[in-house]
Amino acid sequence: MKSNLSTTKIAEIVKEIKERACLSYKPIGLSLIEKSGEIPKEARRPSERGQAWPICLAMNLVRTRGWTIALTVDDNFCILASAGLGFIELPEYLARGKVGSVHAKNEKIGIKLQNGLERHFFEPRSKLGIILTPATEPTFTPQGVVIYGNPSQIGKISKAITWYQGKPVPASAGGIGGCIVAAWAIIEDKKPRVIVPSSGEKILGHTEENDIFLVCPSEELPVILEGMKGTDYILPYPTAKFMMFEPIVPKNYPIALKTYKDWKGGVA
């Protein structure tokens, strides 16, 4: 599936997706860059403030504040993410499961966990950085979009994807390096994926309790919108509540009309 979507067209589609899913936050446009000249002049840099931010924190700033943010290795707090996204080589002190072991029952399981993540790594030194922008008013044409929402909202968008691809959207949960998996899904796998935020994003990025997110390549956006329209008949959002029903109450609370009719011999 290929598309030559303009920045303006991406903004137009994302705005309608946001409206149809009743999203509270701005979806995020994401690209990995190879040269400093690709950094938008409007982009904010944590290093300019004498700080380093985790990418998950930067994404939360983009979706809530509407900033465009660029992070290279000097801006990115998380060295695991810098290695996974191809800014640098994975340092020796983090290699061979040393990160995974912190998240696992024992070293063997930790190595297995980290090896799984490293399959999503980009080639070391192949990328200079990551740029993030509100996809409703992007300052560049993003390679993909990150959409935060509650499970019902992301479920609505996932249903739209299932509608045209005929299979469930894959999901990642409970692991590490969600930003790495997100970028890999957009740029390498080129397929939508749902990610459930875990430890780092909750603690360092301050992602909310009920937030999950879906990522997709930009070229997927038109068919996602088509799928949202196509599934409105079976899954409208907000989901309609079953409002016209007759309640049931405990026998020791005989307020129901049926109890009265039984008492009166079938008449009211």
What total number of domains does the chain contain? 1
DSSP per-residue letters across 186-228: IIII-S-EEEE--HHHHHTS---TT-EEEEEEGGGHHHHHHHH
- Asked whether residue 109 is assigned to any structural domain, the reply reads yes
Per-residue pLDDT of the chain (268 residues; tens, 9 = 90+): 445 899 999 999 999 999 999 999 999 999 999 999 999 999 999 999 999 999 999 999 999 999 999 999 999 999 999 999 999 999 999 999 999 999 999 999 999 999 999 999 999 999 999 999 999 999 999 999 999 999 999 999 999 999 999 999 999 998 899 999 999 999 999 999 999 998 888 888 889 989 999 999 999 999 999 999 999 988 888 877 777 788 899 889 999 999 999 999 988 7
- Asked whether residue 245 is assigned to any structural domain, the reply reads no
Residues 175 and 181 sit within 8 Å (Cβ to Cβ): yes
- Asked whether residue 118 is assigned to any structural domain, the reply reads yes
- Asked whether residue 54 is assigned to any structural domain, the reply reads yes
Instruction: Give the pLDDT confidence score for residue 109 in this predicted structure.
Output: 96
- Asked whether residue 256 is assigned to any structural domain, the reply reads no
The secondary structure of residue 76, as a DSSP letter, is B
Domain of residue 40: give its range: 7-239
Measured distance CA(183)–CA(99) in Å, rounded: 19
Instruction: Give the pLDDT confidence score for residue 266 in this predicted structure.
Output: 81
Instruction: Give the pLDDT confidence score for residue 239 in this predicted structure.
Output: 79
- Asked whether residue 267 is assigned to any structural domain, the reply reads no
Span between the terminal Cα atoms of the chain, in Å: 65
Report field, pTM of the whole predicted structure over 0.85: yes
